[in-house]
Chain A
Amino acid sequence: VAVGDAVPWQVVDHYENPRNVGSLDRNAKNVGTGLVGAPACGDVMKLQVEVDENGRIVDARFKTFGCGSAIASSSLATEWVKGKTVDEALKIKNTDIAKELCLPPVKLHCSMLAEDAIKAALADYKLKQDPNKEESEKKA
């Protein structure tokens, strides 16, 4: 955090009281894991979702190594995906995250990283549910 730049209190809140830090069992069939990185700043973000038999996300965890805005974005993302269906969660946009956290322009890429992490986790979950895809990959 640069000296002199006001950090939005929302970011500080997520940084000091992060929600849902941790891991889920990545080998569980109903757990999707997204692992993404931002090459420009070197931040890494892991986001995991646990989905029930009705396609609804019942739990989410994250681990992020990077700036406060990246941590806050992923923390907020785990809060938002809980209770949503997979398709609803796919609709979460980085602009919504950035707005909620009052991210300054220079930190908008952090919210984009969180959106990408959600999508990666859900894509991983979907892949695990679809045996057909595994079949075609075996043939390839």
Chain B
Amino acid sequence: FCPGCRALQPPVPRPDLFRLMDCDRSFRIDAQQLQRRFRSLQRAVHPDRFGRRPPKEQYYSEQHSSLINKAYQTLLNPLSRGLYLLELKGIEPAQETDCDADSVFLTEIMEINEKLAEPKNEDILEEIETVIKVKQEELTKEVTAAFERDDLQEAKKLLAKMKYFANLEDKLKSKKIPS
């Protein structure tokens, strides 16, 4: 907001999402503090509050609100948070095909996918969901440790593994939704 006339200004280009949400640039975050910050920011800039303002401010309000949503979602989810942190530190996300070295891991992913693809009852879906959740929690812990000792290459590898599990989580969610 402009200190003089209190009109809403456009968001800065290419903002640092951590700074925007008032979080330290680290993998460990305080989820509750993040949520509080999200809510208070949205209270200030949400388009609903700008209905009577000039069109330019309404437009900026949409941009701010959308940016805050994006920042919140990015930082809330461990996978997106980790990938964003790597990006800020100048590390490219993994692009090379995973093969020989990771065959045990890939076999595991393949097997869970195959189980999920079969027609299932609720109980088995719950079992698979638990397996996926446990794995994601394990990986999140390992990623936290990797970032803490500044082992960015290890963090990158672990985040790649998390991506496979994130896909499984999405597939499972869509299976649970009655069609």
Contact of B179 with A by CB under 8 A = no
Residues from chain A with a CB closer than 8 A to the CB of B103 are: 35
Interchain CB contact under 8 A, A39 and B99: no
Interchain CB contact under 8 A, A37 and B98: yes
- Known interface pairs A116-B99, A120-B100; A39-B110 also in contact (CB < 8 Å): no
- Known interface pairs A112-B97, A116-B97; A39-B114 also in contact (CB < 8 Å): no
**Minimal Cβ-Cβ distance residue in A for B103:** A35
Residues from chain B with a CB closer than 8 A to the CB of A120 are: 99-100
Residues from chain A with a CB closer than 8 A to the CB of B171 are: 65
Interface membership of chain B positions 150-164, coded 1 if the CB is closer than 8 angstroms to chain A and 0 otherwise: 000000000010011
Interchain CB contact under 8 A, A39 and B160: yes
Contact of A36 with B by CB under 8 A = yes
> Is the interface on chain A under 10, 10 to 19, 20 to 34, or 35 or more residues?
20 to 34
- Known interface pairs A36-B98, A36-B99, A37-B98; A42-B163 also in contact (CB < 8 Å): yes
Contact of B167 with A by CB under 8 A = yes
Interchain CB contact under 8 A, A42 and B164: yes
CB distance from A1 to the nearest CB of B (A): 14
- Among B10-18, B20-28, B38-46, B88-96, the stretch that binds chain A is B88-96
Interchain CB contact under 8 A, A37 and B95: no
Docked Cα-Cα span, A42 to B97, in Å, equals: 10
Picked from A41, A65, A113, the residue with its CB within 8 Å of the CB of B113 is A65
Picked from A38, A63, A65, the residue with its CB within 8 Å of the CB of B98 is A38
Residues from chain B with a CB closer than 8 A to the CB of A40 are: 93-95, 163
Picked from A42, A63, A116, the residue with its CB within 8 Å of the CB of B110 is A63
CB distance from B70 to the nearest CB of A (A): 17
The contact sample of 26 A-B pairs, CB cut-off 8 A, is: A35-B103, A35-B107, A35-B110, A36-B99, A36-B106, A37-B98, A37-B102, A37-B109, A38-B97, A39-B93, A39-B96, A39-B98, A39-B160, A40-B93, A40-B94, A40-B95, A40-B163, A42-B163, A42-B167, A44-B109, A44-B164, A46-B110, A63-B110, A65-B171, A113-B97, A120-B99
Residues on A facing B (Cβ under 8 Å): 34-44, 46, 63, 65-66, 109, 112-113, 116, 120
